[in-house]
Amino acid sequence: MPATDLSTLHGAGARASLLRGARLGMPIFLGYLPIGMAFGIAAIALGFTVAQASGCSALVIAGAGQFIAVETLRGGGGLAAALIATGVVNLRYVLFSATMSPRLHEYPRWQQFLLAFTLTDETFALNISDAREGKADAYSMLGVGAISWLGWTLGTTIGGLAGSAIGDPRAWGVDFAMPAMFTALLVGQVTGRRELVAAALAAVLALGLTLVLPGEWAVITAAVGTATVMTAVRP
Amino acid sequence: MSAAVVWGVIGGMALTNILMRGVPILLLSRLKLPTIMERWLGYIPVCVMSAIVATSVLRPGGAWLSPLHNPYLLAAVPTAVVYRFSKSFLGATVAGVVAFLALRYLLG
């Protein structure tokens, strides 16, 4: 998809696009709110203040990466161990960032920075699907990023303030919110035979790899392996 | 834990994450990637999504669940159908969560 020419996107157009992105990102907001709450609760239990827990989410915006850092600290690991743990878990962002890059080449640096700052599994998947349909532009992607950031940070603050008084957010069925969104995204991505073959291969490979690798690594290894095989066998 | 250590961890994590997310975009978006590289990257989204769906519905929480007693797997079916016909991510997500709650209740 050619990147939208931003010189035509100002004022009302940009605002409409930003709002469209925020609406598109609502499933992520709904999914992040309770996971953010769970992170807030975990961080408070470790001795973070509410400001520290919220600041962490607002500045880092990395679900698994934040949980693993908190776990490392709780286990007695120091600052360096926590940073290495979060870095390793979030290495996949390098791949997502590289995958997004050809679509962002006409955008100014500040927009690239904000899009990179809000790049997560979910915003990546949603924005790249939207871009494939030719609907995404810089502002819609920033809208997706903003609403996702808000859900994650707000959730953490609520979790930090309410603590364990709110109980386990999983009781509301929210632990299916992100799998549900990814299911819908996957249906949208499988547009032909080649995508179907790639999806099937990646699924089988990922499931097999979960026997020997942690979940995040199984996913990324399966994706890299499948993309390599598909690129190699394409006539 | 002292406030300085906590803010040190937070600052370090923020820096690590923005570097990993930002550097490839900032560097690669200025280059014309070779066709084979673009083709390879083009497969990444569908592969990532499929791998995430497969592991999160068949091994929720990191453990296998029997297919007929797995509300994650069963709820993925109405989710996919709702998306197929509505083209709405929000609609599909909400329908999926409702189906999941109902199935989890029914399956005990």
User: CA–CA separation, A224 vs A79, rounded Å?
Assistant: 30
Specify whether the CB–CB gap between B25 and A115 falls below 8 A. yes
SS3 of residue A137 by DSSP: coil
SS3 of residue A41 by DSSP: helix
**For the purposes of burial, counting CB atoms within 10 Å of the CB of B88, is it exposed (0-12), middle (13-18) or buried (19 or more)?**
middle
Would an 8 Å CB–CB cutoff place B101 in contact with chain A? Answer: yes
- Angle CA B19–A94–A200, to nearest 5: 160
Q: What is the pLDDT of residue A68?
A: 83
Q: 3-state DSSP helix/strand/coil percent for chain B, to nearest 5?
A: 85, 0, 15
**Closest by Cβ to B17, choosing from A26, A60, A104:** A60
Q: What is the pLDDT of residue B57?
A: 94
**Closest by Cβ to A116, choosing from B6, B22, B48:** B22
> DSSP labels for B60-100?
GGGS---GGG-HHHHHHHHHHHHHHHH--HHHHHHHHHHHH
**For the purposes of burial, counting CB atoms within 10 Å of the CB of A88, is it exposed (0-12), middle (13-18) or buried (19 or more)?**
middle
Q: What is the pLDDT of residue A3?
A: 47
Report ipTM for this prediction: 0.90
SS3 of residue A1 by DSSP: coil
What is the percent of chain B where pLDDT is above 90? 64
Tell me the pLDDT tens digit for each residue of B28-67: 888 888 899 889 999 999 999 999 999 999 998 888 888 8
Specify whether the CB–CB gap between B75 and B100 falls below 8 A. yes
What is the full per-residue pLDDT of chain A (235 aa) written as tens digits? 444 444 455 678 899 999 999 999 999 999 899 889 988 988 888 889 999 999 999 999 998 888 888 888 877 777 888 888 888 888 889 999 999 998 898 899 999 999 999 999 999 999 999 998 899 999 999 999 999 999 999 999 999 998 767 777 667 777 888 899 899 999 988 989 999 999 999 999 999 999 998 877 888 899 999 999 999 997 5
**Closest by Cβ to B9, choosing from A73, A101, A224:** A73
Are B52 and A124 a contacting pair at CB < 8 A? no
**Closest by Cβ to A187, choosing from B24, B58, B84:** B84
For the entire predicted model, the pTM comes to 0.85
Tokens of B26: 């900032």
Furthest C-alpha separation in chain B: 54
Q: How many CB atoms lie within 10 A of CB A53?
A: 28
Cα R_g (chain B), whole angstroms: 20
Q: What is the pLDDT of residue A10?
A: 65
Angle subtended by helix axes A50-60 and B3-28, to nearest 10: 10
Q: What is the pLDDT of residue B23?
A: 92
Would an 8 Å CB–CB cutoff place A228 in contact with chain B? Answer: yes
**Which residues 72-91 of chain B have a CB within 8 Å of chain A?**
72, 75-76, 79-80, 82-84, 87, 89-90
Q: What is the pLDDT of residue A164?
A: 66
Are B22 and A200 a contacting pair at CB < 8 A? no
Tokens of B105: 């209740």
Q: What is the pLDDT of residue A7?
A: 44
Query: How far is A83 from chain B, CA to nearest CA, in Å?
Result: 6
A172 contacts on B by Cβ (under 8 Å) = 101
Would an 8 Å CB–CB cutoff place A193 in contact with chain B? Answer: no
CA B52 to centroid of chain Cα atoms = 6
Q: How confident is the model at residue B19 (pLDDT cuts 50, 70, 90)?
A: very high
